[in-house]
Structure 1
Amino acid sequence: MEPQEQTPSLQEAYEGAARERDEYLAGWQRIKADFANYKKEEASRLARIGEIAKMSIANDFLSVLDVIEKAERQPAESNVPEHLRTGFLLVAKQIKDVAASHGIEEIEAVGTPFDPEIHEAVHEQFREGSDPGSVLDVVEKGYRMQGKLLRPAKVVVAKQAEYNE
């Protein structure tokens, strides 16, 4: 063989190897990008699962807050000894502080316009001097957690007076 005949085949082999290298590199880069996207999506999915779990636990916790609120409204002169009442109030405050530290906040309702996003109307009632569509009373408190609704406030809404002609 003459040297001229070998040169094109070496050149072709080199070019073929370079193309193959480029294909492998492009494939590896695609897989690397796909894996990076997968990691981001998985982290986001796990964060959503964690948030849903926290909200579920917080929602279960609301019934405890309801009982505490009800017990706090009991008159101080009830038959409960003062030291027990004081102890209960300290525990109640600590539970409320823990709820607040986790972003659980009460929805303010009385005197605000009815908002179906955060309120659930359970009754309509006329009250002199009240604006129709405003919240008169709260039947069950509503709560948010980190800006997201946990439970709507169940409310009594003011209505217009009914005139019989």
Structure 2
Amino acid sequence: MTNENKDDEFESTDAAFEDTAGDDQKPASVQFTESRDEEMERLRQTAESADKRVLMAQAEAENFRKRMRRDFEDQLKFAAVPLVNDILQVRDNLYRAMESAGDDPAVAGLKDGVAIVAKQLDDTMAKYSIREIPALGELFDPNFHEAISQMPSPDHAEGMIAHVAATGFQMHDRVIRPSQVIVSTGPAS
């Protein structure tokens, strides 16, 4: 490089420096402090944001664990529902047998024996939190009852259950079979 080129280079650098200095009227030490403070603030915000994301991920993972545990417990609690539904059909048949026997003295002993077995079955189901859903004379509730018909009834107000066709059951707090009922439309007009 020649001396002229070097002088031109220094002049252009000096001019660039003067232009930059003219834009910001602050000394270099103040600019450095502000940029460092801005950088620290940006890093602090980034760290806070990362902390929030970590906390949210931890909370989400904990909620997932709780949900999985609750689902698993529910599966265990209600695993016997298919078996219970089959046993309920046997129970229904025992009660039908007692109804069909009537008051005939010839089958009174057999009827008493069937009643004892039905009572034992009901007690066993109660031990496992399986209980009847109250229906006759109750207000119709679609969460527990299935209306199969309606009929006028002088003994029951409108919306009350006048007859139970099939007894409903719930296990713990879950309906496993709704009561099949006939709902009263009130007294005949």
3-state SS of the aligned residue for 1:156?
strand
CA shift, 1:130, in A, is 2.5
Q: Which has the larger radius of gyration?
A: 2
Q: Quick one: which amino acid aligns to residue 75 of structure 1?
A: G
- Distance across 2 between alignment mates of 1:41 and 1:115: 29
User: Per residue, is there more helix in 1 or in 2?
Assistant: 2
Q: Normalized against structure 1, the TM-score is what?
A: 0.65
- Distance across 1 between alignment mates of 2:188 and 2:96: 34
Q: Is the counterpart of residue 136 in structure 1 residue 178 in structure 2? A: no
Q: Quick one: which amino acid aligns to residue 111 of structure 1?
A: G
3-state SS of the aligned residue for 1:95?
helix
Match in the other structure for 1:56 = 82
Match in the other structure for 2:177 = 151
- Distance across 1 between alignment mates of 2:166 and 2:131: 14
Identity, % of aligned pairs? 29
* Cα distance change on mapping 1:43 and 1:76 into 2, 3 Å: same
3-state SS of the aligned residue for 2:162?
strand
Q: Is the counterpart of residue 91 in structure 1 residue 100 in structure 2? A: no
Unaligned runs of 5+ in 2: 1-57
**Alignment RMSD:** 2.7
* Cα distance change on mapping 1:147 and 1:162 into 2, 3 Å: same
Unaligned runs of 5+ in 1: 1-32
- Name the count of aligned residue pairs: 130
Q: Normalized against structure 2, the TM-score is what?
A: 0.58
CA shift, 1:40, in A, is 5.5
Match for residue 67 of structure 1 among 90, 93, 101: 93
* Cα distance change on mapping 1:42 and 1:161 into 2, 3 Å: closer
Match in the other structure for 1:9 = none
Q: Is the counterpart of residue 44 in structure 1 residue 70 in structure 2? A: yes
